[in-house]
C-alpha cells in the first residue's frame, strides 16, 4: 500500500490574515491548517474583512469570509461574548453555579474547523462542477450549532425543558472528590455496575436509583444532580479504595488530570486526525447544486452525539446521508421531549438524514450493508474499539467492495494507551486529557463541563477530516481511512489554551434588567471602556470591575450593548433562557422556528 499522507493536503496553500499573534482565531486556523498539510501564508484582508483563500495545483481557488453579527465583519465579537450570546454560558452554567464561560478557546476552534471545512468543501464542489464561488461562515451560526440539541430541548412545543443556569448544584455533581482530595469521573453505560458499586459502599437503593437517573441523562441535559448520600460516601474514602470498588463492580474510573499529569501518561498529539490513504480512482460525482457535497453519498452508523453531528454537518453541506439503525430504530428517537413522535434532540442532529434498519449481528444484513457501500463515498462509524473487525466491516473489508471509499472512524481515544476498560466517552476523556482541569480552573469547580464539550467538537473535527479526505481523493486520486477521536479534539483545545499570550480581561455584569458580558482583553478595548465610563486611564481591570458594575446597574443591558458595540468593544447580553434566543435579531438568521427551534447551517454558499 502506498501511503500518500501525511500531509493529506500537502501542496495546497491557505492564505489570509495571520499577522496578529494575539488573535486566537488566526492561531486556531493556522494550527489546524498545518495539521492538514496546508502551507499557511499571510495575506491582508480586503477592507478589514476576514477572507481566507484555499488554493493548489489542479483546483480553482476557494474563498471563505468570516462574518460576525448580521453581515458585518467579525468586529465587536470574541470567544467570551459569543459564548454569552449563543447560550453556551447558560448551558455550561446549568451545573457550574451560574452562567459563565468555558475557559477555553472553544468556539474559536469550532469556527476555525468550520472555516476550513467550508473552504475544502467549496473547492471540492467546484472541482465537481458546482457554480457556487463564494463561501461564508457565521461566527454566531457556529456558536448556535454547538448548543443545537439543548436548544431543541428548551423549545419543544410540548414538554420543553426549563433548565436555567444554576438550576443544579455545582457541588452535588460529577466529578466527585475522594477523602484524599482526588477529583475523578465515574463512567458506566449500564445500570447494573452503577447499582452494585453504590450497594458495596452502603448507599441505599433509593439514593443510587435517583443518582442513576441524573447520571444517565447528563449527556442530554448538561446537569447530573446527585443525592448528597452518594457524594458523602465517596468523600469518606481514599481514591485508591474507590478504584478497587470500581474494579469489583465493573465501573470505570479516571482521575481528573492536570496537564503535567496528562503529559506524563501520553504527550498530547500534534494532529486530531490520522489518514491512511492509498491510490484509488475517484468516481465521477457531478455537483449540480450550490451545496458543495451534492451528489456524494454517506452511510453513517453512529450513536449519541459525536458521529451523528459529523453526519449532520456532511448533510448540511449537501451530502445524501443514510443512517444505519438497529431493528426498531435508534432508542434515542424516543427520548423526551418529543415533536411529531420523535425526540427533538435526536432530530436536531439527524433530521436531514434518511434511515435504514439493519441487524449487524446477522451475516445476511451485514452483506446488505456491504452492498450499500459499493456506491457510497463515505462510511462513517463510531463503534466501540474492535467491533468493526469483529463484524468484518473494517476498512480493508469495505475497501474490497469499494476501493474509492473514504472509511471514517470517529473514536474516543485514538491510538493513546489508556487503562483497559476506560470508555472513550465525553466526560472520561475530558477528565483524562486535562480539559476538565482547565475548565475547572476557570470557573472554580473541581472539574469539567457537563456540556458535551468533546462530543460536539469531536463531531466537527470528524466532519472536517472526512471533507479533507474527499478533497484529497479528487486531487490526488487516493482513498482509504480517516481516524479522528475525542482525545484528538481535547488535545487541540489544550494546546490552544496553553498558547494564549493575552491576559483575559472579561466579566459578566448585572445591568438594570439582565446580565451583560464584556471583553476588554485587547488593550484598545480596555482603553475604550475606561474612556466611556470615565475611569482612570491606567487603572487595572480588577480595579475597574466594581465601579463598572455600579454604573452598568443604572441602565438596561440593551442600552450598554448598543453603546459598547458602537465603539467596537466585544459585548453581548448573557442569555439565560435558551427559549429566548430566537428573539435576538442578531441570532435570528441562523434559527428556524417550528415544533422546536432548529439551528440552520452556519455556512452560506453563493
CA 7: distance to chain centroid?
24
Work out the pLDDT band at 72, boundaries 50, 70, 90: low
What number is the average pLDDT over the span 124-134? 93
% of the chain surpassing 90 pLDDT: 89
Mean pLDDT across the chain, nearest whole number? Answer: 95
- Provide the percentage of residues in the chain whose pLDDT is more than 70: 97
Q: Please report the pLDDT score of residue 302 as a whole number.
A: 98
The confidence score (pLDDT) of residue 75 equals: 64
| Fold of domain 13-160+268-498 | Rossmann fold (3.40.50)
List of residues 6+ apart from 264 with CB closer than 8 A: none
The reported pTM is: 0.97
Give the model confidence (pLDDT) of 335-362 as tens digits.
999 999 999 999 999 999 999 999 999 9
| DSSP letters for 370-434 | HHHHTT-SEEEE-PPTTHHHHTT-SHHHHHTT-TT-EEEEEESSTT----TT----HHHHHHHHS
The whole-number pLDDT of residue 74 equals 56
Are the beta carbons of 593 and 579 closer than 8 angstroms?
no
pLDDT in tens, 410-423: 999 999 999 989 99
pLDDT at residue 3 in the model: 40
pLDDT band at 44 (very low <50, low <70, confident <90, very high): confident
**pLDDT tens digits, 264-301:** 998 899 999 999 999 998 889 999 898 999 999 999 99
Smallest CA-to-CA distance from 416 within 451, 450, 385 is with: 385
Q: What is the DSSP letter of 556?
A: -
- Checking if the pLDDT of 102 tops 70, the result is yes
- Examine the pLDDT at 520 and tell me if it is beyond 90: yes
Q: Is the pLDDT of residue 47 over 70?
A: no
Residue 22 pLDDT: 84
Q: Residue 476: which of 20, 124, 119, 142 has the closest Cα? A: 124
| Average confidence (pLDDT) over 303-321 | 98
Give me the pLDDT at residue 136, please. 96
Residue pLDDT, tens place only, 2-12: 344 458 999 99
Pairing state between β 406-411 and 515-519: unpaired
Three-state SS at 222: coil
pLDDT at 446: 86
Amino acid at each position: 500500500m502506498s501511503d500518500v499522507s501525511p500531509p493529506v493536503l500537502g501542496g495546497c496553500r491557505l492564505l489570509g490574515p495571520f499577522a496578529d499573534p494575539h488573535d486566537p482565531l488566526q492561531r486556531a486556523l493556522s494550527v489546524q491548517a498545518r495539521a492538514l498539510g496546508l502551507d499557511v501564508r499571510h495575506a491582508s484582508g480586503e477592507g478589514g474583512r476576514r477572507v481566507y483563500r484555499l488554493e493548489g495545483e489542479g483546483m480553482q481557488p476557494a474563498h471563505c469570509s468570516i462574518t460576525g453579527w448580521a453581515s458585518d465583519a467579525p468586529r465587536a465579537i470574541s470567544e467570551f461574548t459569543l459564548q454569552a450570546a449563543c447560550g453556551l454560558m447558560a448551558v455550561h452554567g446549568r451545573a457550574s453555579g451560574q452562567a459563565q464561560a468555558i475557559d477555553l478557546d472553544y468556539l474559536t476552534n469550532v469556527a476555525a474547523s468550520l472555516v476550513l471545512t467550508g473552504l475544502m468543501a467549496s473547492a471540492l464542489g467546484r472541482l465537481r462542477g458546482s457554480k457556487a464561488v463564494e463561501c461564508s461562515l457565521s461566527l454566531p451560526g457556529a456558536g448556535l450549532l454547538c448548543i443545537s440539541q439543548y436548544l431543541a430541548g428548551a423549545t419543544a412545543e410540548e414538554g420543553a425543558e426549563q433548565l436555567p443556569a444554576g438550576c443544579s448544584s455545582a457541588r452535588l455533581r460529577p466529578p466527585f472528590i475522594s477523602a484524599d482530595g482526588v477529583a475523578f469521573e465515574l463512567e458506566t453505560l449500564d445500570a447494573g455496575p452503577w447499582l452494585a458499586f453504590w450497594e458495596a459502599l452502603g448507599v441505599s437503593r433509593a439514593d443510587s436509583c435517583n443518582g442513576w437517573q441524573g447520571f444517565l441523562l447528563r449527556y442530554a441535559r448538561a446537569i447530573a444532580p446527585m443525592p448528597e448520600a452518594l457524594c458523602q460516601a465517596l468523600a469518606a474514602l481514599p481514591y485508591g479504595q474507590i478504584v478497587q470498588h470500581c474494579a469489583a463492580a465493573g465501573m470505570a474510573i479516571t482521575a481528573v488530570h492536570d496537564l503535567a499529569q496528562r503529559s506524563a501518561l501520553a504527550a498530547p498529539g500534534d494532529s486530531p486526525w490520522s489518514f491512511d490513504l492509498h491510490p484509488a480512482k475517484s468516481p465521477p460525482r457531478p455537483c449540480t447544486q450550490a451545496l458543495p457535497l451534492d451528489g456524494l453519498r454517506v452511510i453513517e452508523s453512529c450513536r449519541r452525539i459525536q458521529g451523528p453531528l459529523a453526519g449532520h454537518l456532511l448533510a448540511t453541506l449537501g451530502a445524501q446521508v443514510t443512517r444505519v439503525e438497529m431493528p426498531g430504530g435508534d432508542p434515542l428517537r424516543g427520548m423526551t421531549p418529543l415533536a411529531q413522535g420523535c425526540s427533538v434532540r435526536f432530530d436536531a442532529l439527524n433530521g436531514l438524514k434518511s434511515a435504514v434498519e439493519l441487524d449487524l449481528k446477522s451475516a445476511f444484513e451485514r452483506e446488505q450493508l456491504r452492498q450499500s457501500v459499493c456506491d457510497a463515498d463515505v462510511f462513517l462509524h463510531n463503534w466501540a474499539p474492535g467491533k468493526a473487525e469483529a463484524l468484518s466491516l473494517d476498512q480493508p473489508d469495505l475497501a474490497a467492495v469499494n476501493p474509492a471509499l473514504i472509511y471514517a472512524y470517529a473514536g474516543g481515544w485514538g491510538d493513546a494507551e489508556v487503562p483497559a476498560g476506560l470508555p472513550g466517552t465525553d466526560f472520561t476523556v475530558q477528565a483524562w486529557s486535562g480539559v476538565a482541569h482547565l475548565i475547572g480552573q476557570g470557573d472554580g469547580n473541581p472539574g469539567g463541563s457537563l456540556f458535551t464539550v468533546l462530543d460536539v467538537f469531536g463531531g466537527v473535527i470528524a466532519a472536517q477530516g472526512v471533507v479533507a479526505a474527499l478533497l484529497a481523493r479528487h486531487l490526488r486520486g487516493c482513498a482509504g481511512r480517516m481516524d479522528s477521536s475525542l482525545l484528538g479534539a481535547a488535545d487541540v483545545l489544550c494546546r490552544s489554551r496553553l498558547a494564549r499570550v493575552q491576559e483575559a480581561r472579561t466579566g459578566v455584569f448585572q445591568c438594570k434588567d439582565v446580565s451583560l458580558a464584556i471583553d476588554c482583553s485587547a488593550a484598545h478595548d480596555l482603553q475604550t471602556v475606561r474612556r466611556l465610563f470615565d475611569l482612570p486611564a491606567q487603572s487595572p481591570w480588577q480595579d475597574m470591575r466594581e465601579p463598572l458594575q455600579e454604573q452598568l446597574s443604572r441602565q438596561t443591558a440593551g442600552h450598554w450593548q448598543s453603546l459598547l458595540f458602537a465603539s467596537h468593544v466585544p459585548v453581548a447580553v448573557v442569555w439565560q433562557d435558551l427559549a429566548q434566543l430566537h428573539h435576538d435579531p442578531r441570532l435570528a438568521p441562523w434559527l428556524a422556528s417550528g415544533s422546536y427551534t432548529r439551528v440552520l447551517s452556519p455556512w452560506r454558499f453563493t
